[in-house]
A = this chain, B = another copy of it.
Amino acid sequence: MQDAPEVAVLRLGHRPGRDERMTTHVGLTARALGADRAILPAAAGEAIETAREITGRFGGPFAVEATDSPLGVVRGWDGAVVHLTMYGERVQDVVGAVQDRHREGPLLLVVGGGKVPADVYDLAEWNVAVTNQPHSEIAALAVFLDRLFSGRELDREWSDADRVVVPQARGKVVEDVGSED
């Protein structure tokens, strides 16, 4: 989010076809819950397009990038790497240390799919589990971001949106605000 070092989310292990919607949800969750950038496998064309389209309609800033080498992004990252995995340390035990580190510099959050190369566990400064139970990389990312930002991401304001949803007890209200540009 603004006024803090960057948080980028990298999707590893995308299987074309099978993982298209999961990767789309990873990208949209990263955007909605306060990350600054999603780095998605180039093979996930639909997910990349959707994340960009939603950013165009509902605002940013949020960057969506494609990579041919997710592992290369991990290796080349200039900052701390956090790998979300059910085998890692408990989020409630380590999130404070990650927050401290984030005050100093950018974070790369790595979200796996199926099999994650063993290297990633070693390259990561923290392997973090949102419960040590099998569930969903999307759920793990969501809870991790909410805790990393201590809930402040929910109050984030968006720039250059064409549409704004107005919170309602019942029904749907979407304002067409247009972009200034």
Contact = CB atoms under 8 A, between A and B. Distances in A.
Contact of A92 (B58, B143, B155, B164): B155
A149 B159 CA distance: 32
A21 interface: yes
Nearest to A34: B131
A98 interface: no
B136 A142 contact: yes
A179 to B, nearest CB: 16
Given A122-B170, A127-B170, A139-B139, A32 B134 contact: yes
A8 to B, nearest CB: 17
Contacts of A174: 87
Looking at chain A, what size class is its interface with the partner chain? 35 or more
A132 interface: yes
B136 A88 contact: no
Nearest to A142: B139
Contact of A133 (B18, B32, B126): B32
A76 interface: no
A107 interface: no
